[in-house]
Chain A
């Protein structure tokens, strides 16, 4: 069945009430029945929940084959915890048919590809999938199709019982002996632990893995001891150098800066740019640089930003410290400036993924956003964005908060160079639709700006401000004139991954890629 972004969704996926994507806010007003976990009572006062090894913790939580284990990705490419838990479960306890439900997975998790090939891991539910894992899943080696969700879609699925977590593993930079966790104060700090919060509340069992045991009580706790079954102390939960970069530097690339300046111009031309406006930006080159130019316009008009959300990095903390932003609310930190600021700098707060972006709760932060500035691997003439699959059709990205913030914000700006090497970023049809075009308002490239025809109000704003713009078709033709028109990718029938829209409907599927031959036309 074809969905609202023109993608053919196979019927076998449309069972148990699953529907195809029908457009933004389709689920509005519907009710969901929240799931509840089955948790163990610890009535006899415990001095400590420390257990010796991960294998012991798994046994204590009744780990068995067929279970779903959850993880969060605040340790990013430095994470050791996913691999160490799966190794203990598979190699020490001999478990099989396991499903990994993670907020994201990355290059740090290459070893999991082996477990997929051996058939020990049969399910993957995640936002990001990259590296060898992306390759083996794209090659059709995972037993069930992977399920890809946005950062807001994941807590929706967990709260609604679509994912039942048997054991949640919390990678904790610090914990006390009963499992109060924080993202700071240790040796592998990550700052916010927002993605882990829903897991801890909805999992049957919760195991904290830490490399820095601190005195009780570790407060204020991001994950609370009342939800934790066991605490395991390991040598290291991650490589601090890869958890948070030294400082997210603002790009010096003149092309990035030119695009960033145009982003700021567009923002300043809209009616939403007024005292107390709200903002989120990604950490890509031009998106991050937009901060710099935006500050100039804020000074010029003597206005301040009310609040900013998202993955947070240094330049935003800097604006907070200068008093140019009222509050920063933070689900994840990307650099040490942000890690060292959360809950330390006044008005820099932590939030859960549900509070950030869940479309099925009663009002996530993204719903109050004025602006979001985002990147794209590809964007097509319907303004649909792909941030998941490479131009060869292989999984190597993550929707992350992209679809959530785009849907919530009053003005969603995509900033991307027109071409990357020989790849046309602006194209006829994106490989995979990760953010539907009805959520995207403006496209800023190095060859021009295009406004979604769904937003005549914004077109008028740009015209009034004298900002030149063209159609997205013109940008696409410009791109193809430079790099040539690409051949269409060839797919087999087998579905290797299902991409859920943030509301739980099916937005797109990723199929197994056909081997390419140089000879047929």
Chain B
């Protein structure tokens, strides 16, 4: 999928993560802040990159502000932000396809 415009998903509540995506010229730029950075930073980074790859996103600037979200939450927030960025979040979401 292609990031067409800036989009955001999630909140800054405890146990949530806020994910913002923006169009980028080349590759994935990831900015990550987390309240559990020292123990889960690398796992969060891996989850975000895997999710983007699964969605076929190759170029994006991604900002994640994590407040101790579980992996499933992080995946869902990344997916939602990406779908919103290309106006694909209103209908025909591929449940069971790339969103799983």
| Dominant secondary structure of chain A at its interface with chain B | loop
Is there an interface contact between A422 and B38, defined as CB atoms closer than 8 Å? no
Is there an interface contact between B41 and A422, defined as CB atoms closer than 8 Å? no
Our pick among A420, A482, A484 for the contact of B40 (Cβ within 8 Å) is: A484
B42 sits at the interface (CB 8 A): yes
Known A484-B43, A487-B42: A518·B32 in contact at CB below 8 Å: yes
Is there an interface contact between A487 and B14, defined as CB atoms closer than 8 Å? no
Residues of chain B within 8 A of A421, CB atoms compared: 14-15, 35-36, 67-69
New A-B pairs, 7, CB < 8 Å, besides A421-B68, A487-B39, A521-B42: A391-B38, A421-B15, A421-B67, A422-B40, A423-B68, A486-B40, A518-B32
* Contact code string B1-34 (vs A, CB < 8 Å = 1, else 0): 0000000000000110000000000000000100
* Contact code string A379-403 (vs B, CB < 8 Å = 1, else 0): 0000000000001110000000000
Residues of chain B within 8 A of A375, CB atoms compared: none
Chain B interface residues (CB < 8 Å from chain A): 14-15, 32, 35-43, 45, 67-71
Known A421-B14, A518-B45: A393·B38 in contact at CB below 8 Å: yes
Is there an interface contact between B15 and A516, defined as CB atoms closer than 8 Å? no
Chain A interface residues (CB < 8 Å from chain B): 391-393, 420-423, 482-484, 486-487, 489-490, 513, 516, 518, 521
Residues of chain B within 8 A of A484, CB atoms compared: 40, 43, 71
Among A393, A421, A521, chain B packs the most CB atoms within 10 A around the CB of A421
Is there an interface contact between B67 and A391, defined as CB atoms closer than 8 Å? no
Among B15, B39, B41, B71, chain A packs the most CB atoms within 10 A around the CB of B39
Within the complex, what minimum Cβ distance (angstroms) separates A299 from chain B? 37
Is there an interface contact between B38 and A487, defined as CB atoms closer than 8 Å? yes
Residues of chain A within 8 A of B36, CB atoms compared: 391-392, 421-423, 486
Residues of chain B within 8 A of A490, CB atoms compared: 38
A393 to B37 CA separation, bound complex (whole angstroms):
11
Residues of chain A within 8 A of B39, CB atoms compared: 391-392, 423, 486-487, 489
Is there an interface contact between A489 and B70, defined as CB atoms closer than 8 Å? no
Within the complex, what minimum Cβ distance (angstroms) separates A466 from chain B? 33
Within the complex, what minimum Cβ distance (angstroms) separates B41 from chain A? 5
Is there an interface contact between A489 and B14, defined as CB atoms closer than 8 Å? no
Of all chain B residues, the one with the shortest Cβ separation from A394 is: B38
Within the complex, what minimum Cβ distance (angstroms) separates A393 from chain B? 7
Residues of chain A within 8 A of B43, CB atoms compared: 484, 487
Of all chain B residues, the one with the shortest Cβ separation from A515 is: B38
A101 to B14 CA separation, bound complex (whole angstroms):
35
Within the complex, what minimum Cβ distance (angstroms) separates A135 from chain B? 14
Known A482-B70, A483-B70: A516·B37 in contact at CB below 8 Å: yes
Is there an interface contact between B68 and A392, defined as CB atoms closer than 8 Å? no
Is there an interface contact between A487 and B35, defined as CB atoms closer than 8 Å? no
Is there an interface contact between A518 and B42, defined as CB atoms closer than 8 Å? yes
A486 to B40 CA separation, bound complex (whole angstroms):
6
Known A421-B67, A422-B70, A518-B32: A487·B40 in contact at CB below 8 Å: yes
Of all chain A residues, the one with the shortest Cβ separation from B32 is: A518
Is there an interface contact between B45 and A422, defined as CB atoms closer than 8 Å? no
A387 to B43 CA separation, bound complex (whole angstroms):
26
Residues of chain A within 8 A of B70, CB atoms compared: 422, 482-483
Of all chain A residues, the one with the shortest Cβ separation from B35 is: A421
Residues of chain A within 8 A of B15, CB atoms compared: 421-422
A489 to B14 CA separation, bound complex (whole angstroms):
22
Within the complex, what minimum Cβ distance (angstroms) separates B67 from chain A? 7
Is there an interface contact between A513 and B14, defined as CB atoms closer than 8 Å? no
Residues of chain B within 8 A of A486, CB atoms compared: 36, 39-40
